[in-house]
Structure 1
Amino acid sequence: MRRLTTAPNLAIATLWAELLNQAGVETQVQRAWAGSIAGEIPVDQALPEVWVLDDARLEEARALLEAQRNLPEQHWVCAACGERVDGPFGQCWNCGALRPQGDAR
């Protein structure tokens, strides 16, 4: 078992671990509750960590996490109502129209 990364909080650590688990890379969150002893130990040592269970898949996990951390920005304008949509949304939040295929600016 190898440490992949330290997360800024438990929610992010859990999100990253779940992403990797769904991709087939088994992970665990360690130090989930160590933040409660911050002050007794240095804060940076109390942060939650994501660990990969299979050492051979560490680089794969790094690549998956890096890709998730650096998703391309997406901006599109709804053809139905003209609303500007930002983020990973495939549907207009104003009128519900779907983003046209191939439109991922």
Structure 2
Amino acid sequence: MKLIYTHENRLLVELVKSRLEVAGIKTRLKNEYAQGATGELAPNQVWPELWLERDRDLERAQQVLAEAEVEQKNWLCTACGEDNGAAFDFCWQCGRSRPTAD
């Protein structure tokens, strides 16, 4: 098993778990209930961890996460130059649609 993702926010770990499982990559969540040990252990030692069940899935999992990261970046409108948030599919200033990723 290989560690693929860890974060202090369990919801973010669950989101990554969901993305990977939709892609057919099996995962296992560790430290699910470890936050109760905060204070006895260093904070980052009790963060939820997401592990790949099969080592051979590492490259594909990294690709899925990289694609998800690209999806979450702001984008610049090619028509008016407005900086738009990642959640927008259309420029809020001029209405032009978001350019497709190459």
TM-score relative to the length of structure 2: 0.71
What is the RMSD computed on CA atoms of the aligned residues? 2.8
TM-score relative to the length of structure 1: 0.70
Structure 2 residue aligned with 1:90 = 89
1:29 matched to 2:19: no
2:84–2:92 CA contact under 8 A, matched in 1? no
Structure 2 residue aligned with 1:99 = 97
Deviation, 1:7, is 1.5
Structure 2 residue aligned with 1:8 = 8
Any runs of at least 4 consecutive aligned residues in structure 1 with deviations exceeding 2 A, and if so which? Answer: 66-69, 91-94
1:41 matched to 2:41: yes
1:9-66 superposed Cα distances (whole Å, 9 cap, x missing partner) = 1011011111111112122321122112111222121001011111110122123223
Q: Which runs of 5+ in 2 are unaligned?
A: none
- Larger Cα Rg: Structure 1 or Structure 2? 1
Deviation, 1:8, is 2.6
CA 1:103–1:3: 2 relative to 1, 3 Å: closer
Deviation, 1:6, is 1.6
Percent of pairs with identical residues: 27
The count of corresponding residues between Structure 1 and Structure 2 is 98
1:45-102 superposed Cα distances (whole Å, 9 cap, x missing partner) = 1001011111110122123223323x1431338x8xx8x56123214668xx6726x4
